[in-house]
Structure 1
Amino acid sequence: MQNILEAIQSGNASSEDFANLELPDHYRAAYVSKDDVDMFEGLTTKEKDPRKSLHVGDVALPELGPGEAYVAVMASAINYNTVWTSIFEPVSTFGFLERYGRVSELTKRHDLPYHVVGSDLSGVVLKTGMGVNNWKPGDEVVAHCLSVDLEGPDGHNDTMLDTEQRIWGFETNFGGLAHIALVKSNQLMPKPDHLTWEEAAAPGLVNATAYRQLVSANGGNMKQGDNVLIWGASGGLGGFATQYVLNGGGTPICVVSNEEKAAIARSMGAELIINRSEEAYKFWNDENTKQDPKEWKRFGAKIRELTGGEDIDIVFEHPGRETFGASVFVTRKGGVITTCASTSGYMHEYDNRYLWMNLKRIISSHFANYRESWEANRLIAQGKIHPTLSQTYTLDEVGQATLDVHKNAHQGKVGVLCLAPEEGLGVRNPEMRAKHEDAINRFRGV
């Protein structure tokens, strides 16, 4: 691995040099063990500690198949799916690996007693399998997390609908929180030249998710002038949603939980802020049984106060159970609630009268297809959308990084250095970076 790192850092190694590098038979990675699946039995979700379940150590390098690539991972990032994997909720991911392993002889590689996690990366292509034409050793890349083969007809209109669609590093093995990752070549995209390794790795999953959920015709299909309610507007997903609304000529109504987070939203250019702590909304009278419609109305009145009497065109939903009833209520007649997650609970409840009688729509959105991911990455590369990286850990500290996300003790995205020995490396276009330095660092240290 040291020879690989030296070639990357030299800045002058050719594609042939990378192709001739000897690859190790083992590499360092963050993983969960099948033996630990029951370790948190009897504990509540909040009590489960990823530091106890995430291991960092050597694992065997898998066989390289057709249409695949090895990538030397310089940096990765934490997503909520790594939290779910680490606490074995809502189900153990080893079930995903077992089912994937039954697809073909090649996919059996993924069905192992350990699961290498991580759905983001930035790094350098080391080797490609048969049939890969668009990428070569030495290419500096980022990866999106859609794993798909497209052998059946269902995914050819939208690859997210393919029957064998999976999320890499969550529903497949050999993810990005490692020194080497195994990816399909159609996951690769060019690394933005003006960003460091850790900055380039951070947007991947959440940036493309926000793009599809809000901008794409497969999601909210946002247009200029739309009022968009964004829950967690300074978080990993919300930070990108806020940027997309502003970049696309809409008006974000940003919901945050404290003044520090409100300041981040304002720094992005948002003006309409709702601080949940100050307003003290209590949408549920009893967290198990009943919501309070009076609080929905009070929330809607606050929105109209900010917008000059207008209602919400699109709700950018991801908290789920805690907020969904309010989201349905405040959406305008004919408006859209787009949902991509349920971090506060999967069992959503809402008053269906406000949905059906007002012709509102709920649109489900899950990650993004290759085209949507490419467009989202292109906007990063053009400096129109910026990373939301707030803090970076080392690979050995991946348990603590995941705990931060689990406890919501972070802002934006939490990065992880893999092969990169320190932060700040990998910038190839310092002139462009200088133009966007403040925006790139907006979330730093928060």
Structure 2
Amino acid sequence: MTQLGEIQQAILNDDLGAVASLDVPEAYRGVTVHKDEADMFQGLESRDKDPRKSLHVDEVPTPELGPGEALVAVMASAINYNTVWTSIFEPVSTFKFLERYGRLSPLSKRHDLPYHVVGSDLSGVVLRTGPGVHNWKPGDEVVAHCLNVELEGPDGHNDTMLDSEQRIWGFETNFGGLAEIALVKSNQLMPKPDHLTWEEAASPGLVNSTAYRQLVSRNGADMKQGDIVLIWGASGGLGSYATQYALNGGAIPVCVVSSPEKAEICRKLGAELIIDRNAEGYRFWKDENNQDPKEWQRFGKKIRELTGGEDPDIVFEHPGRETFGASVYAARKGGTIVTCASTSGFMHQYDNRYLWMNLKRIIGSHFANYRESWEANRLIAKGLIHPTLSKTYSLEDTGQAALDVHRNAHQGKVGVLALAPEEGLGVRNHELRAKHIDGINAFRNV
């Protein structure tokens, strides 16, 4: 049996105490992009770029373990849009991130390689910890958030997201979670929710923490009870958590979706106010360069019909260029537009009169700090927020999983098995699971 096979068997046999005595393999399989292929899609439109052509499953050397770091045996991971960006080399090749990180120190030089092991989510078991790690030990079952910080400068010590060397692990660093082994900083680790399977536990990480900061945290929209929250893509990987946080926090979500099937998912979560943007036929852009304010007005009227005449206190933004003009228009006077992404384009346009004359605010929100991530994971562990996993792929089929996300042919989150040989493994607390099984499975087979 191989070294990785022995590690896998110990985990599957619940013999976690044996992990520390097993040798760490010199190499492992990981999903990679290659530096010499960074121009492979040149001249193609984004929609025509196929992640199946650029994502490879390679055997790669196990990285050196540094101070404050941990090696994790990855049981499962998940697809995020940043993996799609990496796979199609947009908006820039992530090798530029790795080169920049490699110049920081001799230790960070490890990340500057001709291949990039991707992935910003994981669930698994700690294999080894580096010098200075005291809170975690080999055999611990963990999930990881994706904030990578150095914290050597002053800026990050109030909010680690403001650290001058803040990066997203597996996107702006190497050795990510779509692999059999991952390298993380120990302050990325959090306890695995014990009522979830490996694939379920891996799926919330990035999007759950992002939604928590964007909507709940004082660093984001600081949502309160009774707030009306307009949520774009409310059944998607990010929006599905925003919908849950709105409902869980006493707010009133207005869920924007693109099909009856996605509307039904939102109803299963408990939402009542839903707009099917395709059924309504909204066209916020007349052409490539001009938006249609009449469509913003028609959209705002639809929202008020659902809410009894009220405009949104908060607009949960992430599509970007396609929707941003409508979002600024739709927010109530004094309202907040909080944005964390631009999946439809980074160059936003909006009518600033609706912003300044109505005292609205635009807040930029990017992932989450460790405390916010910990709180978001705690809510998962208590069964108050649920994973939104809809489908799981093998490591070998990661390219297809990324293509599904790229083409929006998915619901919720898409998982990937690494060392877990099949779905359904890793549950420790069956009683809590049984209590919340409908919520856990809300996105399954949709």
TM over 0.5: yes
- Give, in angstroms, the shift of residue 10 of structure 1: 1.1
Matches within 5 A, 1:3-82: 3-14=6-17, 17-82=18-83
Query: Residue in 2 aligned with 1:399?
Result: 399
What residue ranges of structure 1 are gaps of 5+ in the alignment?
A: none
Matches within 5 A, 1:104-183: 104-183=105-184
Query: Residue in 2 aligned with 1:375?
Result: 375
Q: Is 1:304 equivalent to 2:307 in the alignment?
A: no
Q: Distance in 2 between matches of 1:124 and 1:56?
A: 21
SS of the residue 2:314 aligns to:
strand
Q: Distance in 2 between matches of 1:13 and 1:263?
A: 41
SS of the residue 1:332 aligns to:
coil
Query: Residue in 2 aligned with 1:275?
Result: 276
Query: Residue in 2 aligned with 1:313?
Result: 313
Query: Residue in 1 aligned with 2:262?
Result: 261
Query: Residue in 1 aligned with 2:222?
Result: 221
Query: Residue in 1 aligned with 2:252?
Result: 251
Q: Could you list the per-position Cα deviations for residues 181-218 of structure 1 after superposition, in whole angstroms to 9, with x for gaps in the alignment?
A: 00000000000000000000000000000000000000
- State the one-letter code of the partner of 1:173: N
SS of the residue 2:411 aligns to:
coil
Q: Could you list the per-position Cα deviations for residues 67-112 of structure 1 after superposition, in whole angstroms to 9, with x for gaps in the alignment?
A: 0000000000000000000000000000000000000000000000
Query: Residue in 2 aligned with 1:230?
Result: 231
Q: Distance in 2 between matches of 1:257 and 1:13?
A: 44
- Give, in angstroms, the shift of residue 11 of structure 1: 1.1
Q: Distance in 1 between matches of 2:293 and 2:300?
A: 10
Q: Distance in 1 between matches of 2:283 and 2:241?
A: 26
Query: Residue in 2 aligned with 1:409?
Result: 409
SS of the residue 1:325 aligns to:
helix
SS of the residue 2:332 aligns to:
strand
Query: Residue in 2 aligned with 1:334?
Result: 334
SS of the residue 1:290 aligns to:
coil
Matches within 5 A, 1:354-365: 354-365=354-365
Q: Distance in 1 between matches of 2:102 and 2:184?
A: 16
Q: Could you list the per-position Cα deviations for residues 303-357 of structure 1 after superposition, in whole angstroms to 9, with x for gaps in the alignment?
A: 1100001111000000000000000001011100000000000010000000000
Query: Residue in 2 aligned with 1:434?
Result: 434
Query: Residue in 1 aligned with 2:204?
Result: 203
- Give, in angstroms, the shift of residue 12 of structure 1: 3.2
Higher deviation after alignment, 277-286 or 185-194? 277-286
Q: Is 1:386 equivalent to 2:389 in the alignment?
A: no
Q: Distance in 2 between matches of 1:198 and 1:26?
A: 23
- State the one-letter code of the partner of 1:12: D
Matched residue count: 443
- State the one-letter code of the partner of 2:410: H
- Give, in angstroms, the shift of residue 13 of structure 1: 3.4
- State the one-letter code of the partner of 1:293: P
Query: Residue in 1 aligned with 2:5?
Result: 2
Aligned-pair identity in percent equals 78
Q: Distance in 2 between matches of 1:230 and 1:335?
A: 14
- State the one-letter code of the partner of 2:330: V
Q: Does structure 1 conserve the Cα–Cα contact (< 8 Å) formed by 2:76 and 2:198?
A: yes
TM-score by length of 1: 0.99
- State the one-letter code of the partner of 1:71: V
- Give, in angstroms, the shift of residue 20 of structure 1: 1.1
Q: CA RMSD in A?
A: 0.5
- Give, in angstroms, the shift of residue 165 of structure 1: 0.2
- State the one-letter code of the partner of 1:275: D
Q: Which runs of 4+ in 1 moved over 6 A?
A: none
Q: Does structure 1 conserve the Cα–Cα contact (< 8 Å) formed by 2:71 and 2:181?
A: yes
Q: Distance in 2 between matches of 1:141 and 1:13?
A: 12
- State the one-letter code of the partner of 1:38: D
Q: Distance in 1 between matches of 2:279 and 2:104?
A: 52
- Give, in angstroms, the shift of residue 278 of structure 1: 1.2
Query: Residue in 2 aligned with 1:102?
Result: 103
- State the one-letter code of the partner of 1:250: A
Q: Distance in 1 between matches of 2:278 and 2:19?
A: 53
Q: Does structure 1 conserve the Cα–Cα contact (< 8 Å) formed by 2:16 and 2:140?
A: no
- Give, in angstroms, the shift of residue 428 of structure 1: 0.3
Q: Could you list the per-position Cα deviations for residues 392-436 of structure 1 after superposition, in whole angstroms to 9, with x for gaps in the alignment?
A: 000000000000000100000000000000000000001110001
Q: Distance in 1 between matches of 2:278 and 2:104?
A: 48
- Give, in angstroms, the shift of residue 289 of structure 1: 1.0
- State the one-letter code of the partner of 1:404: D
- State the one-letter code of the partner of 1:285: K
Q: Does structure 1 conserve the Cα–Cα contact (< 8 Å) formed by 2:187 and 2:370?
A: yes
Q: Distance in 2 between matches of 1:396 and 1:293?
A: 46
Q: Distance in 2 between matches of 1:151 and 1:425?
A: 39
TM-score by length of 2: 0.99
Q: Distance in 2 between matches of 1:132 and 1:263?
A: 45
- State the one-letter code of the partner of 1:85: T
SS of the residue 1:284 aligns to:
coil
Q: Distance in 2 between matches of 1:187 and 1:13?
A: 20
Q: Distance in 2 between matches of 1:169 and 1:394?
A: 18
- State the one-letter code of the partner of 1:429: N
